[in-house]
Amino acid sequence: MRTAILTSILAFMTDIEIRRPHLRRLRAVWQSAGWPCQDVLELELVAAGLLEQHRDSLGRETVRVSDPGVQALAASLQVNRSALDAHELLVERVAKALVQAGRLTWRRLSLRANVNGVWTMCRPDVFSIRSTSVEAYAEPIVHEIKVRRSDLLADLRQQAKGAAYLDTASQCWYVLKTGIAQPEEIPPQYGVMVADDIGIEVARPAPHRVMNLPFATWMSLARGDADRFDRPEQRLLRLEADLDSSATALLDVLPRSP
C-alpha cells in the first residue's frame, strides 16, 4: 500500500502542469533575495525542480531558481515577446487602415468611462474619430486587438472593461487574429473583424449608437499624440517639396550671368 502511494506521489511530481502563476512566482524569486513563502505554488515549483531549497551556515532557508527554472523563464519570455510583437504589429495595421480611411487615431489612449455610476479608466488598443470640424460627426470608435485566444477569453471575462469601452465610443470592435475564435463567441454588442496576413475582413458589423464626445475625452485627445501615418499622396507631396527645395538650393549655388 505504501509503495503504491509513493509511486503515485512520484508520478504527480513529474506531471505538474506549470501555469502562469508558477511563472510569475519564478520571476519574483529570480528578482528577490529568495525568502521562502512555503505555499502551494512554491511546493509545486520545488517538486517540479524549477526551484531549489538552500540553507546557509546560520540555518536560514532560502529558495533560488534552478537551471531548469532559468530555462523555463527564458522560454516564457520568448513566447511573451513574440506574442507582444504580433499584437503590436496588428495594432499598427489597424491604426494605419483607419488613418487611410480619413480618421484620426490614438493608440493606448487613457480614457475616463462611467460604468454603473462608477468612474474608471480604460486604454483601448486603438481609439479613433473622424477628421471633421463638426462635433456631431466625430463618431468615436474603439478597436481592441487580440492575437491569442487566452488573452481574448480573459478580456471577455472582465465585463467592466467591456462596459468602459462601450461608454467611450459609438462603436466597439474586436479585431481577432484568424483562428483564435469564432465571431459567435464575441458578445453581440461588439463588431468582429478577422485579420490574416493578407488583410482585415469584417465578420460581423458593430452596433452603432449616436454619441457626442464628453469634455474629458476631448481633453485626453488634446493631451495624447495622434498617430501620424503618411498617406501615399502625402508622401508624393513631401517628395515634390523636397525636389523643389533641392532645385532652389541648386539655383542658389549656380553662377549668375552678369
Give pLDDT tens digits along the chain (258 positions).
Answer: 444 443 443 344 446 788 888 888 988 898 888 888 888 888 889 988 899 998 888 888 999 999 988 888 888 877 776 666 889 999 999 999 999 999 999 998 999 998 988 999 999 999 999 998 888 899 999 999 999 999 999 999 999 999 999 999 999 999 999 999 999 999 999 999 999 988 999 999 999 999 989 898 999 999 888 888 765 544 454 455 555 554 444 445 445 555
pLDDT computed for residue 205 by the predictor = 96
Please answer whether residues 65 and 29 qualify as being in contact, where contact means their C-beta atoms are separated by less than 8 angstroms. yes
Please answer whether residues 50 and 72 qualify as being in contact, where contact means their C-beta atoms are separated by less than 8 angstroms. yes
State the residue for C-alpha cell 487615431.
105
Q: Residues near 258 by Cβ (< 8 Å), separated by ≥ 6? A: none
Report d(CA 46, CA 23) in Å as an integer: 13
Handedness of CA 31, 18, 22, 59 (dihedral sign): negative
Torsion angle in degrees (nearest 10) through CA of 155, 194, 128, 208: -90
Please answer whether residues 227 and 95 qualify as being in contact, where contact means their C-beta atoms are separated by less than 8 angstroms. yes
Please answer whether residues 105 and 120 qualify as being in contact, where contact means their C-beta atoms are separated by less than 8 angstroms. no
Residue pLDDT, tens place only, 79-107? 776 666 889 999 999 999 999 999 999 99
Domain 84-233 falls in which CATH fold?
Trna Endonuclease; Chain: A, domain 1 (3.40.1350)
pLDDT computed for residue 35 by the predictor = 86
Q: What are phi and psi of 117, to 5 degrees?
A: 85, 0
pLDDT computed for residue 8 by the predictor = 45
pLDDT computed for residue 245 by the predictor = 52
Nearest to 88 by CA among 110, 108, 109, 111: 108
Residue pLDDT, tens place only, 15-53? 678 888 888 898 889 888 888 888 888 888 998 889 999
pTM above 0.75, yes or no: no
State the residue for C-alpha cell 488634446.
222
CA distance readout (Å), 181 to 146, 176, 178, 193: 10, 7, 8, 11
State the residue for C-alpha cell 493631451.
223
Please answer whether residues 85 and 106 qualify as being in contact, where contact means their C-beta atoms are separated by less than 8 angstroms. no
Number of residues that this document lists for the chain: 258
Nearest to 152 by CA among 90, 98, 205, 110: 90
Nearest to 153 by CA among 120, 195, 186, 179: 186
Q: Which ranges in the chain are annotated with CATH 3.40.1350?
A: 84-233
Q: Which residues pair with 230 in a beta bridge?
A: none
